Amino acid sequence: MFARRFRLLVAVVIIGVLAGFLLGVLEREVQRAEERAANMVLSQLRSALVIKGAEIMLSRHGSLAEYRGINPFPLVKHQWGTYEGLCEAPKPAPGNWCFRADKQKETVNRPRGWLIYNPRQPITIDRRQAYEGQPLAWAVTTEFADRNGNGVREQEERLTGLKLARVPLTEETAPTQDAQR
């Protein structure tokens, strides 16, 4: 009788240790999957912006500056399961993206704003640490030929493309690399 109980206890302990180990592995894999998915979305959006920037420059019917702050998701012809569209709440559901449009004049034909991502758990996204429930923001901005290497666009430095840049998440317009006028 005692031997049976002892074997049962040993079996329960072994199963418990294995279950704990497997749950830890599963948690790490879920974290890695979220990291890969979020970084893949950013990579695809950045690629779409490179193509859009090239199209604008080749068409000569518009300027790159007109595309600052646009929503990059419509540039990629894909049904995004984690994209909520325009933000209706202060932040999207965990693991989802949304586009927070800035308040604008009625004459503006494209909404401008920020792309928001709300991590489900602590992950590394865009080579930076992100924490659960603390949304991150990106904005479409312009790249330029920085001839003097100061990181600030002067009037004589021409725009060379569109890019997705991480910005602080605030209600105010995030600073961009525009020429000082």
Q: Is residue 163 part of a domain?
A: yes
| 172 belongs to a structural domain | no
Whether residue 45 lies inside any domain: the answer is: yes
Domain assignment present for residue 180? The answer is: no
Q: What is the pLDDT of residues 139-156, one digit of tens each?
A: 999 887 776 767 667 676
Q: Would you say residue 50 lies in a domain?
A: yes
C-beta separation of 118 from 48 below 8 A = no
Domain that residue 31 falls in: 2-167
Q: Give pLDDT tens digits for 48-72.
A: 999 999 898 888 777 888 888 999 9
pLDDT at 61: 77
Give dist(CA 113, CA 81) in Å, integer: 21
Provide the pairing of β-strand 113-118 with 136-144. antiparallel
Is 92 part of a structural domain of the chain? yes
Q: Does residue 174 lie within any of the structural domains?
A: no
Is residue 175 in a domain? no
The torsion angles phi and psi of 46, rounded to 5 degrees, stand at -65, -40
The total number of structural domains in the chain stands at 1
CA distance 174 to 115: 12
Q: Comparing C-alpha atoms, which of 133, 117, 138, 140 is closest to residue 38?
A: 117
Is there a contact between 92 and 118 (Cβ–Cβ < 8 Å)? yes
The total number of residues shown for the chain amounts to: 181
Q: What is the dihedral of CA 51, 57, 59, 60, to 10 degrees?
A: 160
